[in-house]
Structure 1
C-alpha cells in the first residue's frame, strides 16, 4: 500500500550546478523564512561548513558572491549547498552555477536576463580529456621516439 504524501509547501528553491567533474546541489531560502535551524543571521553553508571557511580567500569570496551582487540580493537569501567531486575551483564554479540557476528560478522576470548576460546560467562544457593508449601517460603527449 503506497504511503500518503503530505502536501508540504516548499520553502526553498532547488537547483543543480555543474563544472568539470564537480556538481553542487543548491537550496536557496529567503532570509525571512524561519524554521528550527534557519535564522535571520544564518551564514551560507557548503557541506555543513560556513562558505567562507570552505572557500577561503578574497578571490574565492568575490567569485561566489558574484550572482548575489549582480542581482542585488546580497543579504536577502540563505543558501545550503552540498557539493561533490572535482577540485576546489571546479566546486566553486559549480556552486556559482547552481546559485545562479536557483536565483533565476526564484524570480525569473527580474534575475534571469542579468544572470544570462553575465554568462552565469551557461554550463561550461569543458571537461578533462581522457588519456589515450600509447601516449606515455598523458592525453596528448606523443611517445618519445627511440634515439638509436
Structure 2
C-alpha cells in the first residue's frame, strides 16, 4: 500500500526560494507530517504556517478528508510552508481537474518565482556597497 502512495505520479511538487517540497495526499483524517515529524512540531506550532498549508484544502472543504505527507528540503520555514502549499494545490488539481477553477483565484497555483539576487563583485551583498569616505 505504501509503495502505491509514494509513486512519482502521486507527487505534488512545490518550490519557493530555495525550498523544494514533495507532497503526497493520502485519504485520512487531517494529519500533517513533514519529514517524518508531526507538522505542528516541525513548524514550531506557528498558526500562520499551518493555516497556509491547509488553505487549499479549506477552500475545497476537504480539510478532514486527507492527510498531508511531505518531504521538504532547503530554505527556511516560511519558504518551506509556501512550497508545501503550492504542492498541495497542484496535487489537488492532479486528483480532480474540477478543483483548478476554484483554487486559481486564491493564487494557490501560482509559483512565486522571486529568488535571492546574486552577490556582485565590489559589493558586500547584492546591492550593499562598502561605506564611502570622502576624505
> What's the TM-score bracket when you normalise by the shorter of the two chains?
0.7 to 0.9
Q: 1:59: how far off?
A: 1.9
Give me the whole-angstrom Cα distance separating, in 1, the residues matched to 2:41 and 2:97.
30
Structure 1 counterpart of 2:67: 78
TM-score, normalized by length of structure 1? Answer: 0.80
Of residues 39, 43, 48 in structure 2, which corresponds to 1:59?
A: 48
Structure 2 counterpart of 1:20: 17
Per-residue deviation, residues 14-55 of structure 1 (Å, max 9, x unmatched): 110000010000111123xxxxxxxxx572210001111111
Residue 142 of structure 1 aligns to a residue whose secondary structure is: coil
Specify every segment of 5 or more residues in structure 1 that has no aligned partner in the other structure, as ranges: 1-8, 32-40
| Equivalenced residues, count | 129
Structure 2 counterpart of 1:4: none
More helix by share: 2
Give me the whole-angstrom Cα distance separating, in 1, the residues matched to 2:42 and 2:13.
19
Q: RMSD of aligned C-alpha atoms? A: 1.7
Structure 2 counterpart of 1:46: 34
Native 8 Å contact 2:30 2:68 kept in 1 = no
